[in-house]
Chains A and B, each alone.
Chain A
Amino acid sequence: DTAVSQTPKYLVTQMGNDKSIKCEQNLGHDTMYWYKQDSKKFLKIMFSYNNKELIINETVPNRFSPKSPDKAHLNLHINSLELGDSAVYFCASSPNKDLTYEQFFGPGTRLTVL
């Protein structure tokens, strides 16, 4: 009965590789998010989709490309990984884009770039 799930939980890879992180929510929410949390624990919004439509696209390198095949899924593909991409990536969902309700977070994906 997992609400927001992410795979993989851990990802260790070499610089220059391309990797993907998958996210799924079974809450029936309209809005999904990707966050990056660095070593200083600061949560930074990267992208947000509402009903498969991109609504937030913060200043993120274009090596990062989100894809939402349907409103229950939001995947993150990262090209040409760099050392500075090492962080924990959280997927989240909320009932609507107006943020009048809480966000539900996935367990996170710890990415380590060597």
Chain B
Amino acid sequence: GQNIDQPTEMTATEGAIVQINCTYQTSGFNGLFWYQQHAGEAPTFLSYNVLDGLEEKGRFSSFLSRSKGYSYLLLKELQMKDSASYLCAAVDSNYQLIWGAGTKLIIKP
């Protein structure tokens, strides 16, 4: 079956760096998305990776290794507003999104 694994919850300190990992098993692969979802709000797009390597976008970076079925989201210079859930989603061979359950990130002062 198809599956996305990511940690349920992580805690980090304001100003620090945190890495949220995601492993996926899908029938075929056509890219991986990261979304941010604040409590009570809709998910919003953060990044899309389809080739191996690191994509940097301001304080957020996303990495993909297709051979390992692995991605991570790196958040630098953490701010209190980064407290949210981070959802990993992979696109399978039928161009359907397989969603992870999300990682709740708690930022402490």
Q: A99 and B30: CB pair below 8 A?
A: yes
Q: Does B85 contact A (CB under 8 A)?
A: yes
- Whether A43 touches B43, Cβ cut-off 8 Å, given contacts A100-B31, A102-B48, is yes
- Whether A41 touches B102, Cβ cut-off 8 Å, given contacts A56-B96, A99-B95, A106-B42, is yes
Q: A99 and B42: CB pair below 8 A?
A: no
Q: A43 and B91: CB pair below 8 A?
A: no
Q: Does B22 contact A (CB under 8 A)?
A: no
User: Using Cβ atoms and an 8 Å threshold, which residues of chain A touch B33?
Assistant: 102
Min CB gap B104→A, angstroms: 8
How far is A103 from B91 in the complex, measured between Cα atoms in Å?
12
Q: Does B97 contact A (CB under 8 A)?
A: yes
Interface size on B, residues (CB 8 A): 22
Q: Which 9 A-B pairs have the closest CB atoms?
A: A102-B45, A105-B42, A43-B99, A99-B91, A42-B101, A98-B95, A99-B95, A105-B43, A41-B102
Q: B45 and A103: CB pair below 8 A?
A: yes
User: Using Cβ atoms and an 8 Å threshold, which residues of chain A touch B43?
Assistant: 43, 90, 103, 105
User: Using Cβ atoms and an 8 Å threshold, which residues of chain B touch A56?
Assistant: 96
Min CB gap B103→A, angstroms: 10
User: Using Cβ atoms and an 8 Å threshold, which residues of chain A touch B101?
Assistant: 40-42
Contacting residues of chain A (27-75) with chain B, CB-CB under 8 angstroms: 40-45, 56
Q: Which residue of A lies closest to B89 (CB)?
A: A43
Q: A107 and B42: CB pair below 8 A?
A: yes
Min CB gap A88→B, angstroms: 9
Beyond A41-B37, A99-B97, 17 additional contacts (C-beta under 8 Å) are A41-B85, A41-B102, A42-B99, A43-B102, A45-B97, A45-B99, A90-B42, A99-B31, A99-B96, A102-B33, A102-B45, A103-B43, A105-B42, A105-B43, A105-B44, A106-B42, A108-B41
